A = this chain, B = another copy of it.
Amino acid sequence: MTTMKRERRKEAPDKREEILNAALSVFVEHGFGASRMDEVAKRAGVAKGTIYLYFPSKEELFKGLIENVASPPLEALQTLVDTSDADSEQLLRTMFAFVKRELLGTERRQVIHLILTEVHRFPDVARFYYENVVSRALGFLRTIMERGVARGEFRDCDLVRFPQLMAAPLPMAVFWSAIFEPFAPLDVDRFMDTHLDLLLTKLKVKS
């Protein structure tokens, strides 16, 4: 009856979002298969059935989670690639900085690990992830390279056909952090920098 009666309402943090956050933490902690909807519900502060008002199944919840986590950085990258007027080297440097900061430097790193370890048993999700995330991200890399070649800033080489090679340190870093970090830490920043240097050495050499 007082004005504070329901603190929840003040924030009204979108129940869907709450569920996604809860799912994120539970899935990251236990993996998708070992996570129980009961626990997602408990952490989200809702009843089990409520989850199913927002997501038709556990698998769709997983998809929603992927989308939720991947969208902001993808949009940011899209904007970067579309609007930057820097030269290609600078653009690539900016992109690597972004990946270090936004992907490897946040909990998103764990989500990538989650996806990579769980997705193979759900072909449906795998396809979704490929089409909505992976191919878009690789497309950005390919665009940068093709543009660099067209402008005469980059050398034309097989890297253009294998953007996966430019992205290869990402899974390595993600897995290393998730598995070996406690006893064999990796300086992810310098690791990425070294890779960037490797790429630029190739791309900038006059052929």
Tell me, yes or no, whether A184 is within 8 Å of chain B by CB. Answer: yes
Q: What is the distance, in angstroms, from A134's C-beta to the closest C-beta of chain B?
A: 7
CA distance A31 to B117 in the complex (A): 10
Is A159 an interface residue when CB atoms closer than 8 A count as contact?
yes
State the CA gap A178–B118 with chains docked (Å): 11
Nearest to A131 among chain B residues (CB) is B183
Contacts of A113 on B, CB cut-off 8 Å?
Answer: 120
List chain B residues, Cβ under 8 A from A186.
164
Task: For residue A185, give the distance in angstroms from its CB to the closest CB of chain B.
Answer: 12
Copies in the complex: 4
- Say whether A195 faces chain B, with CB atoms less than 8 Å apart: yes
CB atoms of A119 and B165 under 8 A apart:
no
Closest approach, in angstroms, between the C-beta of A35 and any C-beta of chain B? Answer: 11
**Are B126's CB and A180's CB within 8 A?**
yes
Q: Which residues of B contact A180 (CB under 8 A)?
A: 126, 130, 134
Does any Cβ of B come within 8 Å of A13's Cβ?
no
User: Among residues 148 to 207 in chain A, which have CB atoms less than 8 Å away from a CB atom of chain B?
Assistant: 157-159, 161-162, 164-165, 167-169, 171-172, 175-176, 178-180, 182-184, 186, 190-191, 193-195, 197-199, 201-202, 205
> Which residues from chain B contact A169 at a C-beta distance below 8 Å?
164-165, 168
- Interface size class on chain A is 35 or more
| A4 at interface by CB-CB < 8 Å | no
CA distance A149 to B127 in the complex (A): 44
Residues of B within 8 A of A162 (CB): 190-191, 194-195
- Which chain B residues lie closer than 8 Å to A118 at the CB level? 117
A-B pairs with beta carbons under 8 Å apart, 18 shown: A31-B120, A31-B121, A116-B179, A117-B120, A129-B179, A130-B180, A130-B184, A162-B190, A162-B195, A164-B172, A165-B191, A165-B194, A165-B198, A167-B172, A172-B172, A198-B202, A201-B201, A201-B205
